[in-house]
Amino acid sequence: MSAMLVIGGFFNQQHRINDLQRELQIQQNMTDQRYNYSDTQIDISTLKERLNKECNFKIMDGTINIKHTYVYQRDSILGMKSKYKLVGTADFYYSSTVNLRQANITKATKNRITLEVPRASLDTKACHRVANTFVRMNDECDDNFLANKTDTEKATRQWEDSFDTKGVEYVQNYMERENIQNRVDQLTVRQVQILLEKLGYSQDIEVLIK
């Protein structure tokens, strides 16, 4: 008799557990519907295709004034050298971009998009000296008695040719500072979010820097 009561109590407990599980499932379904928790996938290939078109997506750009020195020397008479030092400043245009072809989409649902993008870097092909901004610093220029007009012209031309290289090195060194990189990373996240919003995506957009 006691054994039968124990078995009966066991089945009764299982029945209550099953009822509870059904009730919890019903409540969960109602919650999902109320808060739209569906993880329905969106078309990742279309998103990737649209990002691929932004191969050099601009994060920031601007101009800075850079001082540049170039010393031109050549052999002259009696083993002496002709020397001409040209010092001047000019504005340098720089552009920091992200290649979104390298973006990795890790999640794309109707509620959330998560993607990883590379860190922004200097677009060296876009960097250049701004025309008509050269200022010659006469007090710092120097030559010797062997220098002539041709030396001056060659020094000027080579100053111009080497200026962009100097500008790229200067900006790259500046961008490599940790506090600057962190700020550019933050800007990158926001700029990519704005881009996806402009493309018509209304999901929560999470951008991670690789």
Which residue would you say has higher pLDDT here, 53 or 5? 53
Report pLDDT for 147: 85
- Tokens in use for 126? 């876009």
Please determine, for residue 113, whether its predicted confidence score (pLDDT) is greater than 50: yes
Q: Mean pLDDT throughout 13-26?
A: 65
The helix or strand, by DSSP H or E, that contains position 93, with its residue range, turns out to be strand 81-98
Report pLDDT for 92: 98
Mean pLDDT of the chain: 87
Which residue would you say has higher pLDDT here, 35 or 157? 157
Report pLDDT for 41: 80
Phi, psi dihedral angles at 38 (to 5 degrees): -60, 140
State how beta strands 112-117 and 204-209 pair.
parallel
Please state, in angstroms and rounded to a whole number, the distance separating the CA atoms of residues 106 and 116: 7
Q: What is the pLDDT of residues 71-94, one digit of tens each?
A: 999 998 877 889 999 999 999 999
Express as a percent the part of the chain with pLDDT over 70: 81
Please state, in angstroms and rounded to a whole number, the distance separating the CA atoms of residues 191 and 40: 26
Q: What angle (nearest 5°) sits at the alpha carbon of residue 70, between those of residues 67 and 75? A: 170
